[in-house]
């Protein structure tokens, strides 16, 4: 599908230009206030609404070699982590431009590759100081506030600042509220809404015992200059720190005494979920309900839940029902699927009784053979009426299957593969429900809960392989004709203690279903990897800001060292290669840092706070100068993170002084997105056979030196 057309200069690196052009199309997916895109097909004039990097690339024409590589990298990130694809795509474009700039400045390709790789590895080591450990989040899961109860106060209705051109529904505005960047709050700009984010007092009980909110308010009112130091639209500064403050000329409060870098930890599930929701509370609410339901079921099976429980994302499934109100989205134990209306009468008869179940791990057809089965060789069947023979063979097989089901009193059959239509009809007539295309994890969950044993063929069924205690009901009694607009009905299959959760996603707009499902899985994956690794990053741009500061520091150190090496190089030509590396190293590091600067600038621009790139750049530059002037950039960021949590999110001094929730980022998916982005850029840089970086070949006409890339 054609989206855009960009001019390519053949005197520059074509592959890197293509990467930059592809990446530019996903710029609006980065940051808290994301914008959806309409992709229009020029041939059939059909359009599709997308709001994620993966769906964008699926809709673009990526037939070129570079496009295929980009698509494979994005798909690999999505298939593994289901998050980080927007970051990956943007950094591909930013670092492609950085590599192009290095080429234009005459830096050898080998040095670009080695220095950029070294710089990123150094950044990854540096940001370890911004990791937050996660401890015992399940210890009080039953007694703590749920995400639903917490998010109602954390995400009040906000007004998007005028001039942004954004039109959102009221419930969408709540999603925007918590996504504002942490470093947006450092600007001193007032927020547009008088509402406050609220965080449960129990999260701050250990810190709020020394002063009451009224006392803290009086301290702030003591210095009128502090009124200008309001926190604006931040999405992650949450912890209050009760120290004495003074006002700096720049409008930021400063502690009277230099404090050591604040340490952070997270030991509450709801707090962690809020930090990882990234402004999507509706999806994270469903994830929270799924986690708590799994925890409850684990207690039913094991007795001791806290010590043995771990969030299992493989036992969560989504079930989409377009055409229904958003309020019907919910989380249910068991497995939800759709069946044809011909089974409606059967479902009603099965509702009031526990049924026996058979689990088939392959196709339920007459000609199915298990993997590795070898047909007898050198045998041919000759018949004058092949069709009649096949029909009679399938009929005999169907009758035999029914006899087996009747013998063991089986009313429910779940098959991983396809199901014979003829068999399904006969089973329905005999009051038996057959469901095909069931996921492996669903079969395994029912096997564990019902005592059934999966079989390859129905002829292998015996008394020991049949499970019992499964209940079959309709889902919420929704009218059958509302499911996908087709004459089908949704049914729920469950059994006591089953380790299986289905998340039902509903939307009155069919075009939004894919987006809603993608957003749910993104939130679920963030929480899963955070709990699995037992650590998260401080979010809201803190990690990227530290990377930018660190690279600029390395570039400055390399420049000073390079000047010393160059004085010796003039006297010794044998060390030309080493001197060349020392000479170009600061340039490459600065270009790599420029990619981080572009990333942070895009985040700030998409926060609905900054109206121009210059405003965003000014804010970033101020923090870079402060970090460079400090003894340790990481300590500066940690302290700023802590200090600003005491400032109130309000356009004035409110009667209610309440903190703002932190934002967290998952560690491994973020780092892998960085690595994949740089690896792709360096691969394209090294494999392009014709690279022209200078101003040579000026005799070429403009038509020969320029081309068009269609996206």
HEC secondary structure over 448-506: HHHCCCCECCHHHCCHHHCEEEEEEEECCCCCHHHCCCCCEEEEEEECCCCCCEEEEEE
Q: Where residue 575 falls among pLDDT bands split at 50, 70, 90?
A: low
pLDDT for the residue 296? 87
Least confident of 230-234, 275-279, 510-514, 546-550: 230-234
**Closest among 3, 94, 20 to 673, alpha carbons compared:** 94
Least confident of 133-142, 225-234, 352-361, 445-454: 225-234
Element (H, E) at 414: strand 412-415
- For 140-177, the pLDDT digits (tens) are 776 556 666 555 544 433 333 333 333 333 344 334 33
Task: Tell me what the pLDDT averaged over the chain comes to.
Answer: 75
Q: Greater confidence, 83 or 663?
A: 83
Quote the strand ranges of 508-610, DSSP E.
535-538
**CA-to-CA distance for 506 and 68, rounded, in angstroms?**
34
Question: Quick check: 299 and 305 in contact, CB under 8 A?
Answer: yes
pLDDT for the residue 34? 80
Q: Return the half-sphere exposure (C-beta side, CA atoms, 13 A cut-off) of residue 126.
A: 24
pLDDT for the residue 582? 82
Q: Where residue 198 falls among pLDDT bands split at 50, 70, 90?
A: very low
Question: Quick check: 461 and 404 in contact, CB under 8 A?
Answer: yes
Q: Where residue 48 falls among pLDDT bands split at 50, 70, 90?
A: confident
pLDDT for the residue 564? 55
* Percent of the chain's residues with pLDDT above 70: 67
φ, ψ for residue 244, nearest 5 deg: -80, 145
Q: Greater confidence, 154 or 196?
A: 154
Q: Is the pLDDT of residue 534 over 90?
A: yes
| Maximum average pLDDT range among 469-473, 574-578, 617-621, 631-635 | 469-473
Find the helix packing angle between 65-81 and 85-104, rounded to 10°. Answer: 140
Question: Quick check: 709 and 18 in contact, CB under 8 A?
Answer: yes
pLDDT for the residue 262? 64
Q: Is the pLDDT of residue 634 over 80?
A: yes
pLDDT for the residue 393? 81
SS3 assignment, position 433: strand
- For 270-294, the pLDDT digits (tens) are 999 999 998 889 999 999 999 999 9
pLDDT for the residue 558? 77
CA angle (636 as vertex; 635, 642 as ends), nearest 5: 90
């Amino acid at each position: 599908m054609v989206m855009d057309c960009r001019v390519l200069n053949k005197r520059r690196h074509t592959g890197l230009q293509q990467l930059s052009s592809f990446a530019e199309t996903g710029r609006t997916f980065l940051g808290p206030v994301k914008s959806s895109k309409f992709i229009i097909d020029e041939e059939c004039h059909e359009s599709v609404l997308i709001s994620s990097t993966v769906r964008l690339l699926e809709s673009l024409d990526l037939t070129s070699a570079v496009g295929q590589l980009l698509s494979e990298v994005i798909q690999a990130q999505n298939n593994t982590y289901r998050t980080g694809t927007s970051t990956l795509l943007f950094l591909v474009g930013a670092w492609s431009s950085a590599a192009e700039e290095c080429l234009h400045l005459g830096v050898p390709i080998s040095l670009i590759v080695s220095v950029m790789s070294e710089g990123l590895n150094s950044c990854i080591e540096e940001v370890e100081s911004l990791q937050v450990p996660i401890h015992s989040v399940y210890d009080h899961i039953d007694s703590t506030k749920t995400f639903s109860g917490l998010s109602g106060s954390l995400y009040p209705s906000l007004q998007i600042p005028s001039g942004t051109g954004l039109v959102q529904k009221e419930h969408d505005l709540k999603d925007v509220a918590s996504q504002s960047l942490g470093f947006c709050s450092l600007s001193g700009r007032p927020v547009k809404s008088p509402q406050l984010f609220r965080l449960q007092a129990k999260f701050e009980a250990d810190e709020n015992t020394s002063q009451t909110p009224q006392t803290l308010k009086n301290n702030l009112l003591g210095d009128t200059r502090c009124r200008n130091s309001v926190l604006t639209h931040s999405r992650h500064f949450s912890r209050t720190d009760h120290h004495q403050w003074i006002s700096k000329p720049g409008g930021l409060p400063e502690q009277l005494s230099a404090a050591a870098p604040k340490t952070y930890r997270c030991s509450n599930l709801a707090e962690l979920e809020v930090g990882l929701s990234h402004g999507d509370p509706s999806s994270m609410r469903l994830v929270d309900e799924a986690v708590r339901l799994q925890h409850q079921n684990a207690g039913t099976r094991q007795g001791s839940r806290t010590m043995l429980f771990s969030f299992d994302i493989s036992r969560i499934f989504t079930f989409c029902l377009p055409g229904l109100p958003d309020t019907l989205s919910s989380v249910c134990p068991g497995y939800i699927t759709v069946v044809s209306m011909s089974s409606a009468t059967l479902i009603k008869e099965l509702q009031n009784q526990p049924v026996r179940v058979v689990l088939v791990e392959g196709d339920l057809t007459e000609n199915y053979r298990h993997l590795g089965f070898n047909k007898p060789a050198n045998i041919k069947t000759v018949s004058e009426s092949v069709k009649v023979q096949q029909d009679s063979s399938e009929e005999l097989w169907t009758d035999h299957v029914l006899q087996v089901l009747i013998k063991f009193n089986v009313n429910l059959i779940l098959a991983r593969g396809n199901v014979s239509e003829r068999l399904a009809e006969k089973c329905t007539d005999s009051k038996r429900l057959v469901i095909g295309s069931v996921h492996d994890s669903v079969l395994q969950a029912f096997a564990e809960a019902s005592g059934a044993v999966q079989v390859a063929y129905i002829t292998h069924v015996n008394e020991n392989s049949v499970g019992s205690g499964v209940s079959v009901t309709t889902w919420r009694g929704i009218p059958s004709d509302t499911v996908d607009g087709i004459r089908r009905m949704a049914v729920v299959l469950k059994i006591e203690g089953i380790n299986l959760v289905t998340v039902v996603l509903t939307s009155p707009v069919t075009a939004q279903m894919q987006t809603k499902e993608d957003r749910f899985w993104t939130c679920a994956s963030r929480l899963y990897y955070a709990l699995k690794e037992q650590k998260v990053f401080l979010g809201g741009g803190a990690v990227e800001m530290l990377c930018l500061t660190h690279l600029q520091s390395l570039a400055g150190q390399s420049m000073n060292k390079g000047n010393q090496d160059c004085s010796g190089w003039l006297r010794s030509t044998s060390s030309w290669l080493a001197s060349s590396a020392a000479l170009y190293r600061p340039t490459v590091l600065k270009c790599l840092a420029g990619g981080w600067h572009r990333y942070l600038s895009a985040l700030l621009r998409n926060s609905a706070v900054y109206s121009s790139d210059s405003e965003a750049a000014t804010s970033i530059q101020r923090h870079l100068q402060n970090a460079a002037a400090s003894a340790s950039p990481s300590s500066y960021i940690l302290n700023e993170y802590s200090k600003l949590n005491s400032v109130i999110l309000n356009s004035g001094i409110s009667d209610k002084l309440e903190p703002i929730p932190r934002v967290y980022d998952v560690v491994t998916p973020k780092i892998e997105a960085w690595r994949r982005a740089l690896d792709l850029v360096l691969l394209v840089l090294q494999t392009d056979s014709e690279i022209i970086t200078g101003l040579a070949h000026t005799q070429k006409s403009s038509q020969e030196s320029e081309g068009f890339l269609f996206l």
